[in-house]
Amino acid sequence: MDARYKSREIERRSLDVDGLKRSFLEWLVYSVGKDARAATRRDWFHTVALAVRDRLVDRWMDTTRTYYQQDAKRVYYLSLEFLIGRLLTNSLANLGITDQCRQALDRIGLNLDDVVEAEPDAALGNGGLGRLAACFLDSMASEALPGYGYGIRYEFGLFEQRFEHGWQVEYPEQWLQFGNPWEFPRPEVLYPVQFYGRVEEFRDSVGERAYRWVDAERVLAMAYDTPVVGYGGDTINTLRLWSARATRDFNFGHFNDGAYMKAVEQKVLTENLSRVLYPNDATEGGKELRLKQEYFFTSASLQDILRRYLQHHSNFDSLPDKAAIQLNDTHPAIGIAELMRLLVDQHGVTWDKAWDITRATFSYTNHTLLPEALEAWPVRMMERVLPRHMQIIYEINAKFLNRSKARAAGDNARLSRLSLIDERGDRRVRMGNLAFLGSHKVNGVSALHTELMKQTVFADFHAEFPERINNKTNGITPRRWLHQANPPLAALITSRIGNGWIKDLSQIKALAEKADDLVFREEFRRAKRKNKKRLAAYIARQTGVDVQVDSLFDVQVKRMHEYKRQLLNILQAIALYNEMRDNPTVSWVPVTKIFAGKAAPSYHMAKLIIKLINDVAKVVNHDPSVHDNLKIVLLPNYNVTAAEIIMPAADLSEQISTAGMEASGTGNMKLALNGALTIGTLDGANVEIREHVGEDNIFIFGLTAEEVNDLRASGGFNPRDVIASNPSLKRALDMISTGVFSPDDPHRYHPILQALTDGGDHFLVTADFSDYCQAQQAAMDLYRDQEEWTRKAILNTANMGWFSSDRTIMEYATEIWDVHPVKPEHPAETET
C-alpha cells in the first residue's frame, strides 16, 4: 500500500490531540475546500464533523458486520419522527474525545463551543414522541442492542417559530441548506413504493385466487444513513431515513416539448413526498399527503427488512425470531397490511401463515388517548391511494370479527367498536385497532396511561386479548440530558460517585446521602447558578429581557396545547402580579416565569395563548411597581438545542396538564433529573416521579384523573360559579377581558374567556386554579429556605435513575422484542 495512504488511514482513526488537529487541517482544505484564513465558523463545523465521522466509520461497519455475521435478531423502530437535535457534542462525548477535540481546536486558535453553535438543530419531529425515538436510538446503541431507526429524511424539519408583535409566525426550517456532514447517501439502496391504481384478480400456478396491484404510480425511496454512536463508541447503529425520488423512467424517457415540462413537473411533485414534516403534535389532519408519507417510509422500511432477512433465510418462518418491528404510534400501522401484502402477494406465503408471522413480528406503542389524535383514514381515500391494502384490511377485519368473543356473545355494539372500520358517518379505517390487532404486544407510556388505555380506547380489545397490553414508562437518555447538557452538575456528580452513572443511571441514587452534606449542597447550588447564568444570557439575547439570576426560575417548556394548560400558568402569573402590586412592602420571592413552545400553525387557540403570554409579559416586565420581582419570558423557537440550555437551569418544573390527558411527558423527567422540583398534577409519568422522588419533594395539586372523569360525567361543574367564588381568578380574567393586556384590541381574548366560561372549561383550568395557586405559594415559601430547597433538589436528581431510557429500552428488549445485546467484533483494530 502507498505509504502516504497508509499513514492517512491511521490518521483517520487517531484519537489524540495531534492526530485530530492534523485531520482538521487536512479536512478543511481537501474536503471543505477552504484555507484557514477564509474559513467561516460553519466551515469549521463541517470540518470537525467530518473528521469525527472518520473516527466512527470503522466501528460502525464492525457493528453492522457483526450483526450480519451472527444473524442477530434486530429491532426496527419505525417512527415518522426523530427529534435528534445537534450531533457533534453527542458524538464527541459518546466517543469520549471531547477534551482532545477541544485542545486540538485550541491549537488552531478556535473554540469548540463556537464551532458547535454552527450546527443546525435536526428537528425531524414535533415534541415528546419524536424526542423519545431519539433517546431510544441512543439507548439501543449504548446497550449494544442491534437496533435500527427507520423514518423520513424531511427536507424541512419542524418550522422555525418567531414572534411578530407577540404573535407566532412560522418560517421554513432549512436544516439541510448547507449540507449534512453526518449522513451517508445510499443511492444504490432504492425501493419502489406504489400508490393509486387498481387490484386485479387472477389464478396463481396452483389455481388459487390471487391478487396483483396494477396501473399504480411509482415513487422510489432512497436511503440516507446516519451513524448512531452508543456511549463508549463501541456499538454504532444506524438511523436510515428515506427520501423520495422520481423513478428512472423520467431520466431515460423521450419527450416532445410539452411532455418534457410536464414530466419535470411530475418529478418535482413526486419528490414533494418527503419534503416537509407535518407540524401537528398529537393531532391528525387526515391529509392525503400524510397518508402517503406514512405508507412511503413504512413500505420502504419493510422491503429493506425483508431483504436483510433473506440474506440468511429462504422462507419466512423465522422472521419473528430475527426481526422485531416496533410501531411508534399508529403512523406506521399501515405496515401491518403492507407486510401481509409483501408476504402473500409477492412471496406466495399463505394468508394464515402470513398473519401469524405479522402478528409475532409487530408491536405497537400508543402515545395518546386524545380522541382527535387517533388516526382514522377515510375508506374512500384508502381505497383510492392504497387499493390492495384496503382489501387486505377488510379481510383481516372479516376474519377477526367472525372469531371474536363479542360475536359469540351476540354483542353487536361491542362488535362494531372492535371493527377496523368505523361505520358511523363517512366510513373510516381505525388505525389504532389495526395496530392492536396486528401486534403481539401493545404498550402505553406510563403506568397511568396504560391503565386508562385498558379502561377507555382499548377496553374492548383488552377484553378480547387480556395479555396484550403492557406498560413501558418512558425514559430519557442521561448522556444528552445530564452529561452533555449540564457540565457543571455532571462534573460535580462524577467527583463524588465516579462516572458510572453515565452508563448506568441507577448509580445516581448514591447522591441521596449527600443531600444532608452542607458542602455538597453549596456546590450543587453553585452548579445550578452557573446554568441559570447561562440561561439568563440566552434569555437576554433572545428576548432582550434581563432576569435576576437568583430569582426562582419557574419553567414550562413543551408544545402549546390547551390540555397542557399554559393558560393556568399565565393566569397564576397575573394573580401573583396583582398581589405584588397590592403589597409593595412585602419582601417577595423574585420569580422568573419562563415559557417556550411551538403551536401547530392551524391551532388558533394555542396561538392566541402565545399572544396572551407575550402581552402579559410586556405589561409585567415594564411595570416598575413590581420592582423586578416578577419577570415573564416566552422564548422563541423552542427546540432540542434550547432545551439543553433550559433544563439544567430550572428551579421549578411545570407539569400541569389536566389529569388523564398527558400520556407520559418526558420534559418532566429531564427537569427533575437536573434538580428542578416539580409542580404538577397526578398525570402521566408525574405519578411515578412522585413515587420515586418522594411526596415531600414534589408539589402535587389538582383533580385526579378519576375526579376529572367524574366531574365531566356528572355535568355538575359550572366554571362561572368557580370564578365568582375566587376573587383573584375573577380579577385576572377581568383584566384580560377589559383589555389591560391588549389596549390596542380589548376583545382579542374573547375566545379564551368564552372557552373558560360558556365553553364549559373543558380543561378544568378554573377548577384547578385555587389549588394550583396554593402549590405555587408553597414553592415560593420553600424557595426562601435555600438549604431546604437544595436538599429536595438533590433528592430529585438522586432519585431519577429509574427514568433513564436505558431502563425503558431494556424492558422493551426483554419483555416485547426478545432482542439481546451483541458486542461488535473489531478486527480492524487488532490489525493496526
Give the binding site for ligand CR6 (CB under 6 A): 127-129, 132, 281-282, 329, 367-368, 373, 445, 474, 662-666, 684
Cβ closer to ligand CR6: 150 or 224? 150
Annotated catalytic, 209?
A: no
Query: What CA–CA distances, in Å, run from 317 to 313, 326, 356, 361, 603?
Result: 9, 19, 9, 11, 47
Cβ closer to ligand CR6: 158 or 219? 158
Distance CA 495, CA 119 (A): 30
Cβ closer to ligand CR6: 445 or 677? 445
The answer to whether 469 touches 458, Cβ cutoff 8 Å, is yes
Q: Which three cell numbers stand for residue 75?
A: 429491532
Distance CA 43, CA 34 (A): 8
User: Using CB atoms within 10 A of its CB, is residue 401 exposed (0-12), middle (13-18) or buried (19+)?
Assistant: middle
Min dist. Cβ of residue 475 to ligand CR6 (A): 10
Distance CA 40, CA 544 (A): 27
Cβ closer to ligand CR6: 357 or 663? 663
From 559, 748, 791, 792, active-site residue: 559
The answer to whether 354 touches 438, Cβ cutoff 8 Å, is no
Cβ closer to ligand CR6: 474 or 658? 474
Min dist. Cβ of residue 129 to ligand CR6 (A): 3
> How many CA atoms does the CB half-sphere of 663 hold within 13 Å?
26
Min dist. Cβ of residue 664 to ligand CR6 (A): 4
Min dist. Cβ of residue 333 to ligand CR6 (A): 13
Q: What is the CA radius of gyration of the chain?
A: 28
Min dist. Cβ of residue 160 to ligand CR6 (A): 20
Cβ closer to ligand CR6: 661 or 810? 661
Distance CA 494, CA 645 (A): 20
Query: What CA–CA distances, in Å, run from 313 to 29, 70, 286, 321, 322?
Result: 47, 13, 39, 11, 10
Angle at 504 between CA 500 and CA 510, to 5 degrees: 65
The answer to whether 120 touches 137, Cβ cutoff 8 Å, is no
- The DSSP line for 230-281 is PTTSS-EEEEEEEEEEE-THHHH----HHHHHHHHHHHHHHHGGGTB----S
> How many CA atoms does the CB half-sphere of 32 hold within 13 Å?
28
Cβ closer to ligand CR6: 128 or 227? 128
Distance CA 143, CA 75 (A): 13
Min dist. Cβ of residue 683 to ligand CR6 (A): 9
One-letter amino acid of 414: R
Cβ closer to ligand CR6: 358 or 368? 368
Q: Which of 419, 200, 389, 197 is nearest to 295 (CA)?
A: 389
Q: Which residue is nearest to ligand CR6 (CB)?
A: 128
Distance CA 823, CA 62 (A): 10
Annotated catalytic, 530?
A: no
Min dist. Cβ of residue 132 to ligand CR6 (A): 4
Distance CA 257, CA 335 (A): 40
Cβ closer to ligand CR6: 147 or 684? 684
User: Using CB atoms within 10 A of its CB, is residue 176 exposed (0-12), middle (13-18) or buried (19+)?
Assistant: middle
Distance CA 426, CA 496 (A): 63
Annotated catalytic, 399?
A: no
Q: Which three cell numbers stand for residue 596?
A: 417556550
Min dist. Cβ of residue 209 to ligand CR6 (A): 39
Annotated catalytic, 564?
A: yes
Cβ closer to ligand CR6: 281 or 768? 281
Q: Which three cell numbers stand for residue 366?
A: 400508543
Min dist. Cβ of residue 375 to ligand CR6 (A): 10
* Backbone phi and psi for residue 613, each to the nearest 5 degrees, phi listed first: -60, -45
Q: Is the dihedral angle over the CA atoms 557, 563, 569, 570 positive or is it negative?
A: positive
The answer to whether 288 touches 165, Cβ cutoff 8 Å, is no
The answer to whether 375 touches 334, Cβ cutoff 8 Å, is no
From 55, 367, 472, 598, active-site residue: 367
Cβ closer to ligand CR6: 80 or 775? 80
Annotated catalytic, 262?
A: no
Min dist. Cβ of residue 559 to ligand CR6 (A): 7
From 670, 748, 791, 792, active-site residue: 670
Cβ closer to ligand CR6: 123 or 794? 123
Min dist. Cβ of residue 421 to ligand CR6 (A): 22
Cβ closer to ligand CR6: 556 or 664? 664
Min dist. Cβ of residue 326 to ligand CR6 (A): 13
Q: Which of 78, 157, 146, 102 is nearest to 124 (CA)?
A: 157
DSSP 8-state code for residue 547: -
Query: What CA–CA distances, in Å, run from 381 to 38, 314, 385, 405, 427?
Result: 54, 36, 6, 31, 10
Distance CA 672, CA 678 (A): 7
Min dist. Cβ of residue 547 to ligand CR6 (A): 28
From 59, 472, 483, 558, active-site residue: 558
Q: Which three cell numbers stand for residue 432?
A: 389504532
From 361, 450, 658, 666, active-site residue: 666
Helix (H, G, I), strand (E, B) or coil at 744: coil
- The DSSP line for 182-237 is T-EEEEEEEEEEEES-EEEEEE-TTS-EEEEEES-EEEEEEEEEEEEEPTTSS-EE
Annotated catalytic, 618?
A: no
- Active-site amino acid positions: 367, 558-559, 564, 666, 670
